[in-house]
Amino acid sequence: MAQLPQKISVAIVGGGIAGLCTAIGLQKHAPHLEFTIYEAAARFDVIGSGVAFGPNALEAFTLIDPALREAFDRISTTNQLETKKDTWFEFRWGQDMEYKNGKAKTGDLISAVQCHEGQATVHRARFLEVMLPLIPHDSVKFRKRLAYIKNVGDAEKTRLVFKDGTEALHDVVIGSDGIKSHVREFVDHKSKPGFSTKYCHRGVIPMEKAIAVMGEERAGTNTGYLGKHGHIISFPVDQGDAVSVTLFKGERIWTAENWVVETTREHIAQDYKDWGAFVHELIPLMQDTSIWAVFELVDNPPSTYVRGNVCITGDAAHASAPHQGSGAGMAIEDSYVLSALLTDVKDTKDISRALRAYDAVRRPRTRRFQTSSRDAGLFWEFEHPDFGVDVDKMKPIMQERMEWIWYVDLQKEVEMAKDLLETF
């Protein structure tokens, strides 16, 4: 009896937002491909903080698979007050300051950035939980930490070697293994993450406690508090039952080997000693007292996202400081574009052309995003050389700096990539 031709096999390394969205995208747009996700963790962790998504990410969910968008909509949260549904973030003073001829007071409104298509937030771990049932249970292999990639060639399979000594062979490898990516080492070993000059404290606190500190309007609305060499982001999650809070602080260099280190509440309070009283009421509510150093791939980015039949997506390719709240959004865009380009790959010899087209359209946009995210960190902390603390000058730019991120035509990006593909 004649044997059926073998399906093209795809390894997705990393089961974070990027890896899972790509798997769902492949299932929808390239069902003729067979995929396996290799995830280092034993399970998806139940802890985690909030993550916010703008219109570009919401659109990408729908394009990947309307079922993904439905799953997201079921658990996502928007600003609690009807009057704030079109607000992306309200920016307020985080500390009392002399400003021009008067005094700026903690909590006073600086500007509200509007986002008419809306923005929605989720608790990160819950989102992974609702994504998982959208793919076959046996397509995810937990406790599989990639050690390195051994060989590659257009005509041969790529060998993945795991820390536990096992190996796997696949036709395509998609590295979605985060900022410390081992797949990136294979694609461009010279690219290395660097410290972004910011660290943060993160927590999710019950809504009633957040209201007691910030008041109902601010606790229920995406809010950024700006101050000198620091900024604080808070937004409602869990359908309004809780508030995700992240306190950012500037630091010139990071000397610790670990990127997450323990500290004390007293140390955190010291960091914000010149800030408004509300910060000092928030700090005791943060269950976790770790400091998270924010690393990025800005100074030493990969020179390409593709080598042969291996590519990188999400933070593995373009980890950025989170100051525009869109790093995961970029990862989701990658997932859509990549899975749409793999739709037409029916033979292993077509793989590397499709991946090169992915690289050609995704690298310029995500590179721009990375540099603009770093710039935003300076902007929100009154360190930007062009603006300093001049919030009147900053106001029009606040809106402008987000619009190119939100209003992207992803289907056009795929068309452009397909046109390019013909030329390779």
Torsion 298-247-269-265 (CA) sign: negative
Which pair of structure tokens corresponds to residue 146? 């990639």
305 touching ligand FAD, by CB under 6 A: no
Q: 155 by DSSP, 3-state: which? A: coil
Q: Which is nearer to ligand FAD, 40 or 152 (CB)?
A: 40
Q: Which is nearer to ligand FAD, 369 or 389 (CB)?
A: 369
Could you count the other beta carbons within 10 Å of the beta carbon of residue 419?
11
Residue window 209-238: x/- pattern of binding to ligand FAD, with contact defined by CB under 6 A: ------------------------------
302 touching ligand FAD, by CB under 6 A: no
294 touching ligand FAD, by CB under 6 A: yes
CB of 424 to ligand FAD, least distance (A): 26
301 touching ligand FAD, by CB under 6 A: no
CB of 44 to ligand FAD, least distance (A): 8
93, β-bridge pairs:
226
Could you count the other beta carbons within 10 Å of the beta carbon of residue 411?
13
Residues in CB range of 167: below 8 A, 6 or more apart? 150, 159, 160, 161
Q: Are 228 and 391 in contact (CB under 8 A)?
A: no
Cα separation, 346 vs 363, whole angstroms: 25
Q: Annotated catalytic sites, by residue?
A: 202
345 touching ligand FAD, by CB under 6 A: no
Which pair of structure tokens corresponds to residue 266? 């007293």
Hey, what amino acid is at 76? S
Binding residue for ligand FAD (CB under 6 A) from 188, 271, 296, 315?
A: 315
19 touching ligand FAD, by CB under 6 A: yes
Q: Which is nearer to ligand FAD, 203 or 314 (CB)?
A: 314
**Residue 288: what are its φ and ψ, rounded to 5°?**
-95, 130
Pairing of the two strands 109-114 and 87-93? antiparallel
Binding residue for ligand FAD (CB under 6 A) from 8, 24, 26, 51?
A: 51
Q: Which is nearer to ligand FAD, 23 or 340 (CB)?
A: 23
Q: Are 119 and 222 in contact (CB under 8 A)?
A: yes
Cα separation, 213 vs 181, whole angstroms: 39
CB of 315 to ligand FAD, least distance (A): 4
18 touching ligand FAD, by CB under 6 A: yes
193 touching ligand FAD, by CB under 6 A: no
Give the residue carrying structure tokens 């360190």.
383
* Residue 33 falls in which region: left (phi positive, over 0), alpha (psi -120 to 50) or beta: beta
Residue among 286, 285, 311, 312 nearest 297 (CA) = 312
Binding residue for ligand FAD (CB under 6 A) from 12, 28, 33, 39?
A: 39
Span interacting with ligand FAD, options 48-56, 87-95, 111-119, 216-224, rule CB under 6 A: 48-56
Binding residue for ligand FAD (CB under 6 A) from 25, 276, 325, 377?
A: 325
Q: Which is nearer to ligand FAD, 123 or 353 (CB)?
A: 123
Helix axes 66-75, 17-29, angle to 10 degrees: 140
Kindly report the CA angle at 229 between 226 and 234, in degrees rounded to 5?
40
Task: Identify the helix (H) or strand (E) that includes residue 419.
Answer: helix 410-423
Residue among 18, 61, 8 nearest 312 (CA) = 18
406 touching ligand FAD, by CB under 6 A: no
Q: Which is nearer to ligand FAD, 276 or 322 (CB)?
A: 322
Binding residue for ligand FAD (CB under 6 A) from 65, 177, 185, 296?
A: 177
Q: Which is nearer to ligand FAD, 294 or 342 (CB)?
A: 294
8 touching ligand FAD, by CB under 6 A: no
Residue 283 has what DSSP assignment? Answer: G
Span interacting with ligand FAD, options 13-21, 105-113, 282-290, 367-375, rule CB under 6 A: 13-21
**Residue 21: what are its φ and ψ, rounded to 5°?**
-65, -40
Q: Which is nearer to ligand FAD, 43 or 267 (CB)?
A: 43
Binding residue for ligand FAD (CB under 6 A) from 9, 22, 33, 38?
A: 38
55 touching ligand FAD, by CB under 6 A: no
Instruction: Tell me which residues touch ligand FAD (CB under 6 A).
Output: 13-19, 38-41, 51-53, 144-146, 176-178, 182, 200, 202, 246, 294, 314-316, 322, 325-329, 331
